[in-house]
Amino acid sequence: MPKIKLKSGLTVHYQQAGEGPDLVMIHGLTGNLASWNLRIVPLLWDDFRVLTYDLRGHGYTEATPSGYTADDMATDLLDLLDALEIVRPTIVGHSYGADIALYFALNFPDQVETVIAIEAALPAMIYQRAAEDWQGWTYWEEVLGKAGFEVPPEKRTDVDFLLRTSLQVPKRWGPLNGLPRNTKPYLRLIDETTIAQDSMQIGSLSLERIGEIQTPVVLLYSDRSAFIGTFEELKARLPHVTPVLLPQSEWGHFAPLEQPDLVAEQILRAISATSGEESRG
């Protein structure tokens, strides 16, 4: 269980595997590095040196009272890369991890080769999810219903209720299928830190600044994603973008866990394509 203390004082849990060009993978909120290591990392370690790590307050990384904005998390990543002497990796992020990767590309463009953003949501686009008829509310309600949790009508758009209820759903992926979650660390994270408020702060990456990202970005979304509006907005605003739609899976938003082989294939394809473009340039 390797850990490293960053110059900020934060202690981070990480794993490295494989040999080759550096590839960094960032999980989403209430996840941990196991979301990559279960299946995707073994599919990539023959071609890359893969770094996975637990975000601040997640897994075995230290929890702090505050510091959970995407800007904060991007700085954590910069410090981690510096501590591990990693230069210009490709960065893959899922959900909030994809948000962090895009913030990183905006703020530290010389420190990243390519970004592969899987189901990014972005605080700047939270307005798309504010309406009661947002597709995601229906999706979330259906997912909880399949797991046996009824959502009262008055709680249908209550993010706090939905998140806390979701933490009670047994894990449904691969070797973890049916395994109950340990909810205590994440409930403590929600109750005792500023993560809920911080994760919604727009910070440096406003809508107007998305076009300033010069790093090549590959967008991976489900073809019926609840965040398809974000996909379309990013596709229109990013200057160097490759959009990819994956076939719909049962849980939609969680392709790295539901379709790991397909996601690994798309990562390899994306890196090969961007590398080819650079060599031709």
- pLDDT, one tens digit per residue, over 193-234 is 999 899 999 999 999 999 999 999 999 998 888 888 999 999
Place of tokens 């449904």: 172
**What pLDDT was estimated at residue 281?**
45
- Give the mean model confidence (pLDDT) for residues 51-56: 98
Residue 65, pLDDT above cutoff 70: yes
Separation of alpha carbons 166 and 162, rounded Å: 6
User: With left for phi above 0 and alpha for psi between -120 and 50, is residue 252 left, alpha or beta?
Assistant: left
Residue 169, token pair as written in the block? 């759903």
Residue 280, pLDDT above cutoff 80: no
* Domains, the chain: 3-127+195-280 (3.40.50.1820)
Residue 55, pLDDT above cutoff 50: yes
Backbone φ, ψ for residue 12 (5° rounding): -115, 135
Report which residue type is found at 228.
I
| Alpha-carbon distances of 180 from 60, 108, 159, 184, 185, rounded to whole Å | 19, 39, 21, 12, 14
CA angle, 189 as apex, 187 and 194 as ends, to 5°? 130
**What pLDDT was estimated at residue 7?**
97
- Give the mean model confidence (pLDDT) for residues 113-123: 96
Q: Is the pTM of this model over 0.85?
A: yes
Residue 85, pLDDT above cutoff 50: yes
Residue 71, token pair as written in the block? 């800007």
Pairing of strands 22-26, 90-94: parallel
Separation of alpha carbons 235 and 244, rounded Å: 10
Separation of alpha carbons 77 and 245, rounded Å: 27
